[in-house]
Amino acid sequence: MTLSLLASVGVTLWWLWFFVRRDRHPEPLWLLARTFAWGMFAWLIAAAFEASLGRMLDSTLPLTLLLVALLTAVIEEGSKFVAATTAITELSFDEPMDGLVYAVTAALGFALMENVTYTLGFGSGAATWHALVTTLAHALFSAPQGYALGGLHWQQVRGPGFGRSGLGSVRGWILRGVLLSMALHSAFNGLVSGPPGLWPLLALGGVVVLMIGLASRYYLSFEAHAREHGPSAYFLETQAQRNSK
């Protein structure tokens, strides 16, 4: 049991390191830690809602199970998005890439709590597989949320008049990003918990490929922005202060 708990923590922290180190202009550790902690707290909120949901929808009917998968995705992705937004008011949130970094960081904090409770509830045998699959899945679910948070950065840069209407607006970016996260999560949940078979397996593979493709697209887009525009004035100032000590 202890080894499984340590493995769950290790897998989560490894993915956090993997994603964070791809930021050309690294974020402060204290803010990453705080966002990670908010992600852990988001799991507590989501778990409370899901427990109530389970009592209200206690049925094995296919339609009920589908509804549970959908509502679970809505609750979890909504909670993770709120956790990620706790970073956007900080001066360190100074480029679109930061949206992706903090969205994934909050998601991994959420995943850590889920993995720990899963290990305690189901034992070490199932926990290892669960940690390997769902930790990365939670990070990929949150990639569209990172896209949405990148839109918030553009609002800060371009001013309050930027994008007041249409899907290109800030509200449109947020709505599209969060809804896409929820859709991916609900599809993943439905396929994983559904009946086995070749077609469900192929569909699950398609969802995973789509998630990886979206995350890669967002990362490459934000990386191109970072190369083109360089570090922000705030980042350069903090680096200079750090080097002068």
- Given a cut of 60, is residue 34 above it in pLDDT? yes
CB 123 within 8 A of CB 1: yes
What's the pLDDT score for residue 125?
A: 66
- Domain containing residue 62: 2-233
**What average pLDDT does the segment 23-39 reach?**
93
Residue 59 in domain:
yes
Give how far the C-alpha of residue 196 lies from the chain's centroid of Cα atoms, to the nearest Å.
27
Mean pLDDT comparison of 96-100, 125-129, 219-223, highest-scoring range? 96-100
What's the pLDDT score for residue 162?
A: 40
What's the pLDDT score for residue 102?
A: 96
Confidence band, pLDDT 50/70/90 cuts, at residue 245:
low
Residue 240 in domain:
no
Confidence band, pLDDT 50/70/90 cuts, at residue 163:
very low
Confidence band, pLDDT 50/70/90 cuts, at residue 75:
very high
**What average pLDDT does the segment 215-225 reach?**
78
Reading the block at residue 38, the tokens are 């908010």
Mean pLDDT comparison of 31-35, 70-74, 225-229, highest-scoring range? 31-35
More confident residue, 127 or 107: 107
More confident residue, 11 or 197: 11
Identify which of 58, 63, 77, 78 has the alpha carbon closest to the alpha carbon of residue 194: 63
More confident residue, 123 or 150: 150
CB 145 within 8 A of CB 79: no
Residue 239 in domain:
no
Confidence band, pLDDT 50/70/90 cuts, at residue 68:
confident
Mean of pLDDT over the chain:
81
What's the pLDDT score for residue 166?
A: 41
**What average pLDDT does the segment 41-48 reach?**
95
Euclidean distance between CA atoms 144 and 72, whole angstroms: 18
**What average pLDDT does the segment 77-101 reach?**
91
Residue 105 in domain:
yes
Euclidean distance between CA atoms 3 and 101, whole angstroms: 28
Residue type at 40 in one-letter notation: M
What's the pLDDT score for residue 46?
A: 94
What's the pLDDT score for residue 36?
A: 98
Residue 149 in domain:
yes
Residue 244 in domain:
no
Mean pLDDT comparison of 54-68, 144-158, 169-183, highest-scoring range? 169-183
Residue 48 in domain:
yes
Whole-model pTM: value is 0.85
Residue 123 in domain:
yes
Give the number of domains in the chain: 1
